[in-house]
């Protein structure tokens, strides 16, 4: 097997593990972390379908995480204005507090980590990763 692929996959798994450990240390599942992260990142109401599309996860996985967060009163699922079947995800006050304590520090850490690189390095990292993703989509 190609050493570059082995190295790339190791780094990808290591990156994933950083988020997994952080979520676990804060009492969240990986899915819950990414749901909350997405709500902050998008700065708009999202639906379960939006989350599935964004994270490429099965509806059951996202639904389970949403139900747990709803049971913990971190969010509410409310009917969308245009469809009673579609539910929008809305943070509660407790959810917004959780986001402030747990999710915003992730964004801050990511920002600090990227800022350790020059603008040129960041641009290259993003463009090369996008190029790899595009080529891999074509190959698989």
pLDDT tens, 15-25?
Answer: 999 999 999 99
Q: What's the pLDDT score for residue 121?
A: 98
Q: What gap in Å lies between CA 12 and CA 5, rounded to an integer?
A: 10
Q: What's the pLDDT score for residue 93?
A: 97
Q: What percent of the chain has pLDDT over 90?
A: 87
Run of H or E residues at 114: helix 104-115
Q: What's the pLDDT score for residue 39?
A: 95
pLDDT tens, 79-97?
Answer: 988 877 889 999 999 999 9
Q: What's the pLDDT score for residue 65?
A: 95
Backbone angles phi, psi at 43, to 5 degrees: 55, 30
Q: Find where tokens 């379960």 sit.
A: 48
What's the pLDDT band for 1 if we cut at 50, 70, 90? confident
| Number of Cβ atoms within 10 Å of the Cβ of 63 | 16
Q: What's the pLDDT score for residue 40?
A: 94
Q: What residue ranges define each of the domains in the chain, with the CATH number in brackets?
A: 3-139 (1.10.10.10)
pLDDT tens, 95-125?
Answer: 999 999 999 999 999 999 999 999 999 999 9
Output the pTM of the full model.
0.89
Angle between helices 104-115 and 30-42 (to 10 degrees): 80
- Give CA separation, 108 vs 1, 104, 113, in Å: 36, 6, 9
- Give CA separation, 10 vs 3, 17, 57, 116, 119, in Å: 10, 10, 22, 21, 25
């Amino acid at each position: 097997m190609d050493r570059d692929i082995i190295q790339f996959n190791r780094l990808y798994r290591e990156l994933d593990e950083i988020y997994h450990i952080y979520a676990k240390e804060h009492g969240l599942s990986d899915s819950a972390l990414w749901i909350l992260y997405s709500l902050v990142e998008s700065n708009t109401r999202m639906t379960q379908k939006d989350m599935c599309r964004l994270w490429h996860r099965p509806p059951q996985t996202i639904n389970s995480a949403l139900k747990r967060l709803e049971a913990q009163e971190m969010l509410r699922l409310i009917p969308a204005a245009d469809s009673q079947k579609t539910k929008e995800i809305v943070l509660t006050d407790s959810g917004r507090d959780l986001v402030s304590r747990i999710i915003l520090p992730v964004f801050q850490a990511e920002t600090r980590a990227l800022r350790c690189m020059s603008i040129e390095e960041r641009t290259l990292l993003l463009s090369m990763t996008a190029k790899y993703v595009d080529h891999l989509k074509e190959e698989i």
